[in-house]
Amino acid sequence: MIARFPDRRFAGRVARHAILILTAAFALLPFVWMVSLSLKPPEEIFQADFHLWPTAFHGVENYRVALTAAPMFRFLLNGLLVCTAIFALQLLVCIPCAYALAKLRFRGRDTLFSAVLVGLLLPPQALAIPHFVLLNVFGLLDSYAALILPWVISTFGIFLLRQFFRSIPDEIIHAARLDGLGEFEIIWRIMIPMTTPALAAFGIFSIVAHWNDLFWPLIAVRSAEISTPALGILLFRDDEAGQFLGPLMAGAVIIVAPLLVAFLIAQRRFIDGLAVTTMK
Amino acid sequence: MTTLDQDRERRVDAKTSFAKRSGEHGLGWLAVSPALLLLIGLLFGPAAAVVLFSLTDWQLGSFTFHFIGVANFRALFTDPTFWKALTNTLVYAGIVVPGTVLLGLVVALLIEASPGLRGFYRAAHFLPVMSTMSAMAIVWGTMLHPTIGLVNRALGAVGISGVNWLRDERTALLALALIGIWQGLGFAMVLFVSGLKAVPQQLYDAAAIDGADGVLDRLRFVTLPMLGPVTMFVVILTAKRSFEVFDSVRVLTQGGPNYASEVLLHRLYTESFDFLRMGYGAALTVIYLAIIVLLTLTQARLLERRVHYS
Amino acid sequence: MAEIELRHIEKSYGETAVVKDVSLSIRDGEFLTLVGPSGCGKSTLLRIIAGLEAQDSGEVVVAGRCVDDKRPKERDVAMVFQSYALYPHLSVFDNVALPLRTRRLSFAQRLPFVGRALPGRGGIEKAIRAEVEQAASMLDIAHLLHRKPGQLSGGQRQRVALGRAMVRHPAVFLMDEPLSNLDAKLRVQMRAEIIALHRRLGVTFVYVTHDQAEAMTMSDRVAVMTAGELLQVGQPEQLYRDPQDLRVAEMIGSPKINVVSCDHWMSLGASLPPGVDGNTTHLAFRPEAVGIAAPGDRRLNGVVTSVENLGSDIFLNVALADGCGAVVVRTHPDVSRSEPGRPVGLQIDPACLLQFDGAGMRLRQADQVEAAA
Ligand SMILES: Nc1ncnc2c1ncn2[C@@H]1O[C@H](COP(=O)(O)OP(=O)(O)O)[C@@H](O)[C@H]1O
Ligand SMILES: [Mg+2]
C-alpha cells in the first residue's frame, strides 16, 4: 500500500521535518539569540545589519563583566544551596509520612490523607501573604531560611511517594520485619532503594521548580548575597552594568545554563520525571 | 467469677497488651508528626489566615487593624483594575491554552510519526520548559525590542514595520501570551507523546483491517479519540499555568502600559508587597485561590476518570 | 524445640471475621499443612503465628511460651512468601545475608555509612559470608550469589527465598503458598526438595496451600480450613478415608468425592444401602468405591456421558437420571471399555459409604465408630 506511493511517503517525511524545524526554531530562537548577543560588542548589537556570529568577538569581555559586576556565581551557589536544602528537608518530612500513610495502620490515617489531598489544592502563591507575615514576625525575612522554610512541607511529595510506596507489596515489608529490620530501617534499606526512580522524579520536579521560581524570592529577599538565580538576573539587569545588553545576555546564559546542561545530560530522566509527577 | 468472665478478661488483656506491643499506632503517628505539624503551621494555618486577613483593613507595619467584613471584596469588585486584571488573565489563557495545546499536539504527532531526529526534536521543544523564566523573559524583551529586536528586524526584512510590542497597549498582552506558548509547548508535547505511546497497536491494526489505513484516517478514527482524556488533562494543566502567569509580566511589562497586561497574580503581588495593603491583597488572594481550586478539582476529576477507564 | 499451640485465635477485619476461634497444636518437627480455598484465612493465620498481624483474641504459644508480646523478629520463625518477597535492589548474597546481619551486627554497626567502618564488623561479615555460602550450596544457588533477583528464574527465586529463611536456623518455618507461582513441572520438583529440606532440618514446618494434592503429598498432618473455620486436622489418609465433615470430604481427593442426597437416591428407585442412619441426608463415596455393573432394579442407574482415559486409570462420568447429579467412577483399563451413551448400573461398596447429616456432619455406623476408636 505505502510502497506503491513512494512519492507521497517522501513528501510526508519532508513535510514533517519542515514543520518540526519551524517549531523547533521557535523554541530555540531565544537561546540562539541570547548566546549570539552575549558574544557581541555593544555597537554591533545596535547595528542595522544582523549577523548571528559576531564580526568582532566580544564574548570574553561580556562574560567577564557579568561575572564581576554581579555575584553570578553567588547566585548559582545560592540556587544550589536553596534547592538542595529544600529537597533534602522535603524528603526528610515526606518519606516517613508517605510510608506511614501507605503501609502502617493507625487511627486517623485516612483523615490525614484527606488533609494532604486538600493541601494539594492550595497554590503556594496564595499563601505568600501569611508566609511573609510569619517570617517577618520571626525576623527571618531576607535570609536563606525565608527562601527555604515555606517549602519544607510538600503535600505533592507526600502524595506522590505514598502512591509509589503503596505499589511495593506488603510481603516485602513483612519479610523485612521477619528479617529483623525496624521500621525506620525498612524505610532506609528497602523503601528508598526500591523507589529511587520516583525519588529522582520528585527531585527533578522540586529542583526545577525552585531554581526557576521568581515569585517567592522576590517577596522574601532583598539583598543580592542571598538571591537565587531567577532573582539575581533581575537584580543584575537593574544594576548599572546590566544596562549593557552584551553582559546582560551573558548573565542570562550563566543563569540558565546549569539546568539546561543537566537536562541535556539526563534528558530521559527529566522528561519522564516531569511527566510522571504531573500525571500521578 | 464464672469461667466465661475470666475467659473474657484474659482476652481483653491480650488485646490491650497487643495494641501496645505491635506499636503500629504509635509508630504511625511518630512518622507523620513532623509532616502534620508543618501541614498545619505552613499550609492550613496560613490558608485560614488569608481568609481572616481578607476581612480586615490591616496594612503591613501598622499595629492595629479592624474587621471590616466584606468591604475589601466590595472594594475589589468596584475596582476597574481588578476587572482589567481578571479579563486580561482570561484573554491570556484564551490565547495560551488553545495555542499551547494545538501546537503541542501537532508537534507530538509529528515527532512520533517517524523516528527521524526524534531525540533532537523532543529535546529542542522541551528546552524552554526547563529554562529560568525571569532570564528568558529578559531575552524575549530584547527580541521584541522595537529597533534592535529580532522580531522587528525580521519583519523589516520583508517590508513590514513592527510595533513596540511590549509598550503598545494593543500588543503587550499578545506578546506575553506568545512567550507563554513558547514555554508551555514542550510540556504539552511530552504529555501528548506519553498519551500516544499508550495507544495500543492493535487498535491501528484493527482500523487498518476495517479499511482506515491512510494517515488521516488513522488520526481521525484512532489517535485523536484515544487522546481525548490526555487532551482534557493538558487543557486544564495549561489553563492552571496561565492563571499563574507572573514572571514574564513582572520582568517585562509590570502590568503596563496602562494596565494593558495586568494579570491576577501580578495584581496580587503589587497590592500586597509593593503597596503593602495586606487586607486588600488577601481578598484578591481568596478570589485567586477559588479559581485555582476549581481548576485543580476539575483536573483531579479528569485524572480519576482516566484511571478508571484504564 | 518448637511446638506451636494456637488457642482460640480470632481475627476480623472491620466487620468480617476472617479467622474464627481456631485452636490447633502443631508438634515439634512436624510438617503441618493448612489447606483451604483461597480467601479462607490461611495466610492471616500464618501471619498471626509470625507476629506480622495481631489477633483480636486468643494466644499463640511457641515452645511452651506465649509469644503474643514478641515482635516478629523475636519469635524465631522464618517465612517464605508466595511472591518470594526478595529485595529487588539487593544481590542474592545480600538478600540471604540480611537476616544474619540484622541479628549479629550491633545497632551502631548497622548504621548507614559509619557502620561499615566500625571495629569488629569484618569478623562478623566473614562468618556471615561462610554461612550464606553454605546455605547457597545446599540449595544449589551458589553460582547466583552476585545476581539481582530480577535476573533469576522463578525456581531460582524460590530457592533464594528458602535460603533467606533457612540461613538463620529458625525453629519454625512458615510457608505461604510458596509453589503457586511456579509451572507444573517445577512445582512437583520443588515439592520433593521442600520435603527433603524438612527432613534435613528437622524443624517445624507450617505450610499453606490451596492445592489439596500438595497438602496430601507433602505433609505429616493436614489442617483443613474454610471461611475462617478449622474443620479437621489429621493425617492425609485419615482425612481422605475418614472425613468428619462433608466439606472436608469434598475438598480432599481428586477427582472429587461423589455425593448423592438420600432424596435423590430414593427418587431414583434405588434402595438405601443397609445400615444407613435415620438422620442421614447425604451419602458420599469415592470414585474407586464404585464398580460398573449392568443396570439393575434396586441400584443407582445412569448413563455414561464421558470417558477420561489417563492410561493407568479410566474415569467414567455417569449422569444419574432425572437430573439427580453425576457420579465419577474409577475403573481399570483392563476391566471395562465403556463409551458415552451406554446405560450402566453402579455397584457401591457399602463399607466405603460415608454418611452425613443435614449440617454436613459425619454420621458413623456402629462398626465404624468402633474402628475409629
Ligand atoms: N489487611 C486486610 N484488610 C482487610 N481484609 C483482609 C486483609 N487481609 C486479608 N483480608 C481478607 O481476609 C480474608 C482472608 O485472607 P487470607 O488470609 O489472605 O486468605 P487465604 O490466604 O486463605 O487466601 C480475605 O477475604 C481477605 O480479603
Ligand atoms: Mg493467602
Residue A26 lies in a domain: yes
Please give the Cα distance from C14 to C25 (Å, whole number).
Answer: 28
Q: Identify all chain C residues contacting A177, using CB atoms and an 8 Å cutoff.
A: 52, 71-73
- More confident site: B62 or A201: A201
Could you tell me if A79 and A55 lie in one domain?
no
Per-residue pLDDT, averaged over B14-28, amounts to 57
Domain ranges of chain C: 4-241, 255-372
* Residue ranges with strand state E in chain A: none
CA distance B24 to chain C (A): 10
Is the C-beta atom of C38 inside 6 A of ligand 1? yes
Closest-CA residue in chain C for A168? C85
Please give the Cα distance from B202 to B227 (Å, whole number).
Answer: 16
Is the C-beta atom of C42 inside 6 A of ligand 1? yes
Distances (CA, A) of B211 to A2, B208, B219, B225: 14, 5, 13, 17
Q: Identify all chain B residues contacting A230, using CB atoms and an 8 Å cutoff.
A: 132-135, 247
Confidence of residue B12 (pLDDT cuts 50, 70, 90): very low
Could you tell me if A101 and A224 lie in one domain?
yes
* 3-class DSSP state of B56: strand
Could you tell me if A38 and A80 lie in one domain?
no
Per-residue pLDDT, averaged over B244-250, amounts to 92
Is the C-beta atom of C39 inside 6 A of ligand 1? yes
User: Number of H helices and number of E strands within chain A?
Assistant: 16, 0
Least confident of A85-99, A216-230, C268-282: C268-282
Instruction: Examine the predicted complex and report whether its ipTM is higher than 0.85.
Output: yes
- More confident site: B306 or B137: B137
How many B-C residue pairs are in contact by the CB < 8 A criterion? 22
Could you tell me if A83 and A146 lie in one domain?
yes
Is the C-beta atom of C13 inside 6 A of ligand 1? yes
Number of the ligand 1 atom closest to the C-alpha atom of C45:
17
Closest residue (by CA) to atom 10 of ligand 1?
C13
DSSP 8-state assignment for residue B67: B
Among A16, A34, A66, the domain-final residue is A66
Q: Identify all chain B residues contacting C68, using CB atoms and an 8 Å cutoff.
A: 14, 17-18, 21
Residue A247 lies in a domain: no
Closest residue (by CA) to atom 9 of ligand 1?
C44
Residue linked to cell 448400573: C345
B230 has a pLDDT exceeding 80:
yes
Largest CA distance in chain C: 89
Q: Is the peptide bond before A229 cis (omega within 30 degrees of 0)?
A: no
Confidence of residue C300 (pLDDT cuts 50, 70, 90): confident
Per-residue pLDDT, averaged over C359-373, amounts to 67
Residue from C10, C13, C45 whose mutation best tests the ligand 1 pocket (most atoms within 8 A of CB): C13
B243 has a pLDDT exceeding 80:
yes
Terminal Cα distance for chain B, rounded = 60
Number of the ligand 1 atom closest to the C-alpha atom of C44:
17
Closest residue (by CA) to atom 24 of ligand 1?
C39
Per-residue confidence (pLDDT) for residue A53, from 0 to 100: 79
Give residue-wise pLDDT tens across range C167-220: 988 989 999 999 988 888 888 888 998 999 999 988 999 999 999 889 999 999
Please give the Cα distance from B143 to A34 (Å, whole number).
Answer: 9
Q: Quick one: which ligand is closest to C81's CA?
A: 2
Please give the Cα distance from C266 to B176 (Å, whole number).
Answer: 91
Per-residue confidence (pLDDT) for residue B280, from 0 to 100: 85
With vertex at residue B279, the alpha carbon angle to CA B274 and CA B285, rounded to the nearest 5 degrees, is 80
| CATH number of the domain to which A87 belongs | 1.10.3720.10
Closest residue (by CA) to atom 20 of ligand 1?
C39
CA distance A191 to chain C (A): 10
Could you tell me if A203 and A118 lie in one domain?
yes
Could you tell me if A116 and A78 lie in one domain?
yes
Per-residue confidence (pLDDT) for residue B6, from 0 to 100: 47
CA of C286 to the centre of ligand 2 (A): 29
Touching check for C169 and chain A: CB below 8 Å?
no
CB neighbour burial string for B90-123, b if at least 16 within 10 angstroms, e if fewer: ebbbebbbebbbebbbbbbbbbbbeeeeeeebbb
Touching check for B22 and chain C: CB below 8 Å?
yes
- The number of residues in chain C equals 373
Give residue-wise pLDDT tens across range A6-37: 666 788 788 888 899 999 999 999 999 999 88
Residue A265 lies in a domain: no
CB C222 within 8 A of CB C32: yes
What is the CATH code of the structural domain delimited by C255-372? 2.40.50.140
CB C182 within 8 A of CB C190: yes
Per-residue pLDDT, averaged over A107-111, amounts to 89
Residue A262 lies in a domain: no
Annotate chain C with three-state secondary structure: CCCEEEEEEEEEECCEEEEEEEEEEECCCCEEEEECCCCCCHHHHHHHHHCCCCCCEEEEEECCEECCCCCHHHCCEEEECCCCCCCCCCCHHHHHHHHHHHHHCCCHHHCCCHHHHCCCHHHHHHHHHHHHHHHHHHHCCHHHCCCCHHHCCHHHHHHHHHHHHHCCCCCEEEEECCCCCCCHHHHHHHHHHHHHHHHHHCCEEEEEECCHHHHHHHCCEEEEEECCEEEEEECHHHHHHCCCEHHHHHHCCCCCCEEEEHHHHHHCCCCCCCCCCCCCCEEEECHHHEEEECCCCCCEEEEEEEEEECCCCEEEEEEEHHHCCEEEEEECCCCCCCCCCCEEEEEECHHHCEEECCCCEEECCHHHHHHHC
Residue A215 lies in a domain: yes
Which residue of A169, A171, A180 is in closest CB contact with C103? Answer: A180
Residue A270 lies in a domain: no
Please give the Cα distance from B125 to C31 (Å, whole number).
Answer: 64
Cα dihedral sign for C159, C112, A186, C102? positive
Residue A106 lies in a domain: yes
Closest-CA residue in chain C for B20? C69
The three cell numbers locating residue B41: 503551621
Is the C-beta atom of C279 inside 6 A of ligand 1? no
Touching check for C67 and chain B: CB below 8 Å?
no
Could you tell me if A24 and A123 lie in one domain?
no
Is the C-beta atom of C40 inside 6 A of ligand 1? yes
Q: Identify all chain B residues contacting C69, using CB atoms and an 8 Å cutoff.
A: 17-18, 21
CA of C12 to the centre of ligand 1 (A): 9
Q: Which domains does chain B have, with CATH numbers?
A: 17-53 (no CATH), 72-309 (1.10.3720.10)
- Asked if C112 lies within 8 A of A188 by C-beta distance, the reply is yes
- Beta strands C314-320; C300-309: pairing state: antiparallel
CB B118 within 8 A of CB B108: no
Residue A158 lies in a domain: yes
Closest residue (by CA) to atom 1 of ligand 1?
C13
Closest-CA residue in chain B for C71? B22
Please give the Cα distance from B295 to A121 (Å, whole number).
Answer: 9
Give residue-wise pLDDT tens across range C90-142: 999 999 999 998 888 877 777 777 777 777 778 888 889 999 999 998 888 99
Closest-CA residue in chain A for C72? A178
* Total structural domains within chain A: 2
Give residue-wise pLDDT tens across range B93-122: 999 999 999 999 999 999 988 888 888 998
Mutate to test the interface with A, among C53, C76, C79 (most CBs of A within 10 A): C79
Please give the Cα distance from A84 to A211 (Å, whole number).
Answer: 10
Distant-in-sequence, close-in-space partners of C186: CB < 8 Å, separation ≥ 6: C154, C155
Which residue of C68, C70, C71 is in closest CB contact with B14? Answer: C68
Could you tell me if A163 and A206 lie in one domain?
yes
Q: Partners of C361 in the beta sheet? A: C245
The three cell numbers locating residue B95: 490565547
Q: Identify all chain C residues contacting A180, using CB atoms and an 8 Å cutoff.
A: 73, 99, 102-103
CB C41 within 8 A of CB C18: yes
- Asked if A17 lies within 8 A of B50 by C-beta distance, the reply is no
Of B59, B49, B62, B55, the residue nearest B273 (C-alpha): B59
Per-residue pLDDT, averaged over B240-260, amounts to 89
Could you tell me if A148 and A113 lie in one domain?
yes
Distances (CA, A) of C176 to A21, A181, C85, C139, C208: 59, 20, 11, 19, 5
Per-residue confidence (pLDDT) for residue A271, from 0 to 100: 79
Could you tell me if A231 and A171 lie in one domain?
yes
- Asked if C57 lies within 8 A of B15 by C-beta distance, the reply is yes
DSSP 8-state assignment for residue A242: G
Q: Which architecture does CATH list for C4-241?
A: 3-Layer(aba) Sandwich (3.40)
Per-residue confidence (pLDDT) for residue B213, from 0 to 100: 67
Q: Quick one: which ligand is closest to C52's CA?
A: 1
Of C296, C299, C295, the residue nearest C285 (C-alpha): C299
Per-residue pLDDT, averaged over A133-146, amounts to 90
Could you tell me if A222 and A85 lie in one domain?
yes
Confidence of residue B14 (pLDDT cuts 50, 70, 90): very low
Of A99, A87, A103, the residue nearest A192 (C-alpha): A99
The residues placing their C-beta within 5 Å of ligand 2, an ion, are C 43
Among A221, A239, A257, the domain-final residue is A239
Least confident of B189-193, B298-302, C304-308, C354-358: B298-302
Touching check for A194 and chain C: CB below 8 Å?
yes
The three cell numbers locating residue C180: 503457586
How many A-C residue pairs are in contact by the CB < 8 A criterion? 56
Proportion of chain A above pLDDT 90, given as a percent? 45
Is the C-beta atom of C44 inside 6 A of ligand 1? yes
- Asked if B42 lies within 8 A of A136 by C-beta distance, the reply is no
CA distance A175 to chain B (A): 16
- Average of per-residue pLDDT values in chain A: 87
Burial (0-12, 13-18, 19+ Cβ within 10 Å), C310: exposed
Give residue-wise pLDDT tens across range B278-307: 888 888 999 999 988 888 888 777 766 654
Distant-in-sequence, close-in-space partners of C370: CB < 8 Å, separation ≥ 6: none
Could you tell me if A32 and A145 lie in one domain?
no
- Asked if A174 lies within 8 A of C164 by C-beta distance, the reply is no
Q: Quick one: which ligand is closest to C13's CA?
A: 1
**Residue span of the structural domain in which A21 resides:** 2-66
Please give the Cα distance from C86 to C235 (Å, whole number).
Answer: 33
- More confident site: C357 or A2: C357
Is the C-beta atom of C37 inside 6 A of ligand 1? no
Question: Which pTM does this prediction carry?
Answer: 0.85
DSSP 8-state assignment for residue A244: S
Per-residue confidence (pLDDT) for residue B1, from 0 to 100: 39
Cα dihedral sign for A50, A51, A57, A62? positive
- Beta strands C221-226; C204-209: pairing state: unpaired
* 3-class DSSP state of B232: helix
Confidence of residue B207 (pLDDT cuts 50, 70, 90): confident
Distant-in-sequence, close-in-space partners of C144: CB < 8 Å, separation ≥ 6: C92, C136, C152, C156, C160
C335 has a pLDDT exceeding 70:
no
- Average of per-residue pLDDT values in chain B: 82
The three cell numbers locating residue B59: 496594612
